[in-house]
Amino acid sequence: MSMRGIYTSVNDIRHRVFTELAQLSYNYQGPEDLKEMGVIPYRIIPGEVSHYRESVFLERAIVRERLRLAMGLPLRTAAEHSVVYEGAEECVYPEKYYQPPLINIIKFACHSCPENQVVVTDQCQGCLAHPCKESCPKGAISFKNHKAYIDQALCIKCERCMASCQYGAIIHLERPCAKACGMHAIHNDEYGRAEIDQEHCVSCGMCLANCPFGAIADKAQIFQAIQAIRSETPVFAAIAPAVIGQLGASITMGKLRSAMKALGFKDMVEVAIGADLCTIEEARDFMEEVPAKLPFMGTSCCPAWSVMAKREFPEQASCISMALTPMVLTGRLIKQRYPDCKVAFIGPCAAKKLEASRHSVRSDIDFVLTFEEVLGMLEAKEINLAEMPDDPDLIEASSDGRGFGIGGGVANAVKNAIADMDPGREVLIERAEGLDACRKMMQLAKAGKYNGYLLEGMACPGGCVGGAGTLAPIQKATAAVIKSTREGTTAHSTQSKYSHLLASLEE
C-alpha cells in the first residue's frame, strides 16, 4: 500500500527542507550564506521537545542529512563530526551534479524493521483447535502462556498458519522499503538497519516512497537549478505529462506555465511534445525490426525498467528500444532552438536523475527536479498556483503524447502511431507495472511467449503518476491525466507539428 496522497509528517519535513534550501538559493550571495544550513534544522524542528522521535537532537541530525542530500552532498554517519555545510561551497555551481549514489539511507533514521517474519499478534485467542500449529509443515509453532509462538529459525514463511487462523491473528511482517524494491537490492547491515546494494539499485525510488520513517532520500539539484535561473543563462522548464493533478485539481498547464516564469524560468515546455517524437521513433523501429530482426520490442521511456531489463536479460538487451526518451528529445528540441540555454526536466521520477547524469545525456538535460522539489521552490517564492494567470497557448502535444504519464499510455500511443503508418498491421501489447512484474514479463518474453509483441515496462505502480517524486494519490492522478488527454491539439503522435525535426534530434 502506498502512502502517496496522504500528507504525513515525513512529507512535511521533506517539503520544509526543499522550501528552506530553495529560499537559501534564491537569496544566496556568497559562501558565508551557506552557514544558514546550520540554522535551518532549528526552524524545521523548533523548541526543546521532540515531535516525532525519542530525541529532538536526533530529529535535527536527520534534517541536517536531508539538507545535505538535497544539496547533492554525501551522507555522513553518526560517527562523523563536521559542520552540516561542509563541502557545500563546491555544490553551488549550476554545472555541479550530485555525487553518487542517488538513493541513500540515513542510517540513524532507520527503524531497523523486521526484514521478513511471520509473527503472532495480540489478537491470538489461544483457541482449543490450534489450526495454526496443526497446519505448520515445519513444527515451528508452539504455545506459551496460552498464545501461539512462532520459532523464526524453523519458519519458512509459507503462510499456512495465517490462512488457517480464524481470528486473523498472524501477519507477515516485511520491511516496507525491501518489499517495495523490485530489484531486491535492500538487506540488513551489521546493526539490522536497511542497506542498499548499489550494484543492483536502478534508482526507481520505490523504497523512498514507501519508508514510513523517512529514512530514505534521494539527492537533488534544487540549489544548483536556482543558481542557474538567477544567472544570465535562460533556463527552460520541461514539464512531464504526469504533472496533471499533482499540484491541485484546478491547476492547468497554463497556470503552471505562469508559475514557472514566476520562479525565474525563461519558459515552460511540455515534455509530451518529446513523447510524441519518441512514439514516432518507437513505432518506426517496431515496424522495421519486429519480427524481422527482433522477436519483440520493449519501450524505452522508463529508465529504471530499461536498465533492469538490459542488466538481467543481456541476451534480450537489444530488444529494448533504443529510441531517445521524451525527456531527452524535449531537451534537444529546446536546445536546438535556443543553443545557449539550460533545461530543467520537472517530473515524477527519481530514476530520471540517474538518466540525466549519464555522459550521453548531460548535454541535453542540465537539471532534474521532482514535482515535490518544485513545490518547495513555489513555497519559497510564495507563489500561489491557484491565483496564477492562465496562459492558454501552451498545449502543443497530442492526446497520446499527454497520456505517457499513465500505465498503458506509451504502448497505446505507439500502437495508434503504427495504425496510422501501416493501417493493416496488428500490434499485440503486453505491459507491466512494478519491477517484479516487469521481470516476470521479460522472463515470459525470453521464453518466446511474447514474440511479435510490444512490451511496455513501468517501474512504478500506475506508471509515471506513481513515481517517487509525486504528490497525488495514484488513482486521482491517473484520472487527471486521462482527462488532460482530451485537451490535446491532435489525437495521435504522428500528427505532431515537430515530427519533421525528429531526424535532426536523433543525430
Going by the DSSP 8-state scheme, the letter that residue 404 receives in this structure is G
Asked if 439 and 308 count as a contact pair (C-beta separation under 8 A), the reply is yes
Q: Which residue, among 282, 252, 253, has the nearest Cα to 267 in the 3D structure?
A: 253
Question: What average pLDDT does this structure show over 232-240?
Answer: 97
Instruction: Write out pLDDT tens, residues 143-157.
Output: 999 999 999 999 999
Asked whether the domain spanning 224-506 has the same topology as the one spanning 116-174, the reply is: no
Has residue 56 got a pLDDT over 90?
Answer: yes
Rg (CA), the chain: 24
The cell for 80 is 562523523
Q: Which residue, among 153, 176, 173, 172, has the nearest Cα to 161 in the 3D structure?
A: 172
Distance in angstroms (rounded) separating the CA atoms of residues 352 and 358 = 10
Start-to-end CA span in the chain (Å): 43
> What one-letter code names the amino acid at 309?
A
Distance in angstroms (rounded) separating the CA atoms of residues 293 and 285 = 10
Distance in angstroms (rounded) separating the CA atoms of residues 186 and 171 = 21
- Domain 116-174 in CATH 3.30.70.20? The answer is yes
Has residue 6 got a pLDDT over 90?
Answer: no
The cell for 86 is 561542509
Asked if 197 and 186 count as a contact pair (C-beta separation under 8 A), the reply is yes
Grid look-up 515525513 returns: 10
Residues 6+ apart with CB under 8 A from 300: 278, 282, 306, 320, 321, 322, 323, 324, 325
Burial zone of 259 (CB within 10 Å; 0-12 exposed, 13-18 middle, 19+ buried): buried
Residue 26's alpha-carbon distances to 20, 158, 229, 376, 480, in angstroms, are 10, 55, 9, 12, 32
Averaged pLDDT score across all residues of the chain: 95
Grid look-up 519518441 returns: 278
> What's the pLDDT band for 7 if we cut at 50, 70, 90?
confident
| pTM as predicted | 0.95
CATH superfamily for domain 224-506: Fe-only Hydrogenase (Larger Subunit); Chain L, domain 3 (3.40.950.10)
Q: What is the pLDDT of residue 1?
A: 46
Has residue 395 got a pLDDT over 80?
Answer: no
Instruction: Write out pLDDT tens, residues 96-146.
Output: 878 899 999 999 999 999 989 999 999 999 999 999 999 999 999 999 999
Residue 312's alpha-carbon distances to 273, 356, 414, 434, in angstroms, are 31, 22, 25, 15
Instruction: Write out pLDDT tens, residues 271-297.
Output: 999 999 999 999 999 999 999 999 999
Q: What is the pLDDT of residue 2?
A: 56
Instruction: Write out pLDDT tens, residues 325-369.
Output: 999 999 999 999 999 999 999 999 999 999 999 888 889 999 999
Q: Is 186 helix (H, G, I), strand (E, B) or coil?
A: strand
Question: In 368-461, which residue ranges form alpha helices assigned H by DSSP?
Answer: 371-380, 399-402, 409-421, 435-446
Domain ranges of the chain: 9-110+184-223, 116-174, 224-506
Report helix angle 9-27 to 222-230, nearest 10. 30
Q: Nearest 5°: phi and psi at 143? A: -125, 130
Asked if 472 and 4 count as a contact pair (C-beta separation under 8 A), the reply is yes
Distance in angstroms (rounded) separating the CA atoms of residues 87 and 111 = 28
